[in-house]
Chain A
Amino acid sequence: MKLHEALHIDLDEINREIKNLVTRDKDVPKKSLLAQSILELTGSGGKRLRPLMVIAGSRFGRKPAGRRTLQLSAAAEFIHAASLIHDDIIDDAELRRGEPALHTKTGILSAVHIGNYMSARVIELLSKYSGDKNRYVHDLSSVATAQLCLGEYQQMEHAFDYNLTLEQYLEKSRNKTALLMATCLRVGALSTESTEEVADLLYNFGESLGMSFQIQDDILDFTQSADVLGKPAGSDLRHGQVTLPVLFALQDPELAPVIRQIGPSSSSEEVAHVLELVKNSDALARTEAVSQDYLSQAAAIVQQLSSFPAHADLDTLLQYFAGRDR
């Protein structure tokens, strides 16, 4: 069963709302490159995890979910997609979800501004919710996006840095991935007038889930084929991203000197050799254990929210992130 089905969420409704963000913008000509590029990107699949988390969060409020919740869920996907456009330029990635990356079709300068349009459109749309008590609607575009950028800066600063500490790795992962997910649950909850206390618990749940998600992503870079990943396996290592499996492998005195030799000019064979060494060590099992630990922290928060019927949805998210239903 797919995640949205397990959560009883109408994905078509969310997809329509995402599409409407462009098609109902009277400032965007229907057949423009910008409109077509965004519709292709947002229509090319993706799990819609972030919109689903907004909707799941909204089930902890005191009012039923309405138009605002739906718009926030579409906004979450738009912000995520905009970040992917810019990520692909930074990573010099040619493919996104098996299709040519947007900047390879439009050119870099145009793609940067298409991503900017998506962010600006979200701000325009959500600005109609004025007043102090609605300030949270901008959390996705402000705090969460700023943290995402900080995670990218940290990643750039520590490329091929084999002295990266575990704390630095965790902070980078929190900024880059976990806090946007956490914010999705929180704004969803606030959109239906949850208490601040409940919204904060959901934020913490989303943060733990997001950390587990990023760590699993790091593992997949070692274990999945290029077909499944939609990019070459071992991309992280090739681009100098020192992920958790690498950090654990570096603790092995025999592996460390070989890993430390990987740099920007290493050959594919050298990278492939290190990939195999890491895979055959205990690094992936230790990484999996850290991921499980974050899931346990998330499960403990579900317990605190057990008086809400919607706590079952958090369990569903947990199971999905644990990989049982993938």
Chain B
Amino acid sequence: MNKKLIEDTFRMLQAEMSPIAGIQLYLSPAECEQLLSVLERHDLEYDRKVHLLGIYTILTVAAQRHMECVPHHPDLTRSILDGDYLYSFYLQFAVKCRELDLVAYLAPSIKKMQIGRSNGDFTEQDPAQGFDEFLIQERRQRSRTSKAI
């Protein structure tokens, strides 16, 4: 099941990205694991799982590319451009999947990660926790709304 989800997600991302960028988006099953276990805890439609794993993949790879930006790196230009393109593609993809509430929820933590990294704090950050908190909050809001009706 997860294999299919991962394959469908990567296929969708590859179709959405501009071929000019020439990026091959890929995360190992181990790298997807944190988010996959979050997705299993929530009652979500299959398409939404694809969208959320897609957003997670884009954010993870964007951050990885920019962490490669050290002096004399042979592919420095490509690493900068790939990270830049992926951060803008993240927003494009999220808009298309109607996940702007998630974007708003994740925005402060992504910003804080950039502040930390600009200041030499390279603590490993996994956005999966933010996805989990967002989905819990969304479920609570839905349940409140349905009770009110």
Secondary structure type dominating chain B contacts:
helix
| Cβ–Cβ contact B20 & A128, under 8 A | no
- How far does the Cβ of A114 sit from chain B's closest Cβ, in whole Å? 5
**B6-14, B25-33, B83-91: which lies at the A interface?**
B83-91
| Cβ–Cβ contact A142 & B18, under 8 A | no
Secondary structure type dominating chain A contacts:
helix
| Cβ–Cβ contact A153 & B85, under 8 A | yes
Instruction: Report the nearest B residue to A137, measured CB to CB.
Output: B100
List 6 contacting pairs A-B, 8 Å CB cutoff, sorted by A.
Answer: A27-B115, A117-B111, A142-B88, A149-B88, A150-B21, A152-B84
Q: Let me know if A109 is at the binding interface, CB within 8 A.
A: yes
A121 to B111, CA, bound (A): 6
Q: Told that A127-B100, A130-B104, A153-B21 touch, could you supply 5 new A-B pairs with CB distance under 8 A?
A: A112-B66, A123-B107, A138-B103, A146-B88, A150-B20
A112 neighbours in B (Cβ, 8 Å): 66, 69, 80, 83
| Cβ–Cβ contact A150 & B95, under 8 A | no
A143 to B104, CA, bound (A): 18
| Cβ–Cβ contact B81 & A152, under 8 A | yes
**B37-45, B117-125, B134-142: which lies at the A interface?**
B117-125
Cβ-neighbour of B108 out of A27, A141, A143, A156 (below 8 A): A27
| Cβ–Cβ contact A142 & B95, under 8 A | yes
| Cβ–Cβ contact B107 & A120, under 8 A | yes
Instruction: Report the nearest A residue to B23, measured CB to CB.
Output: A153
| Cβ–Cβ contact B89 & A146, under 8 A | yes
Residue-wise, chain A 108-143 has the 8 Å CB interface mask toward B (1 for contact) of: 111111101101110110011010000100100111
B76 neighbours in A (Cβ, 8 Å): 89-90, 108
A32 to B103, CA, bound (A): 26
| Cβ–Cβ contact B69 & A34, under 8 A | no
Q: Let me know if A191 is at the binding interface, CB within 8 A.
A: no
A34 neighbours in B (Cβ, 8 Å): 115, 118-119
Instruction: Report the nearest A residue to B65, measured CB to CB.
Output: A112
Q: Let me know if A145 is at the binding interface, CB within 8 A.
A: yes
| Cβ–Cβ contact B66 & A142, under 8 A | no
| Cβ–Cβ contact B107 & A141, under 8 A | no
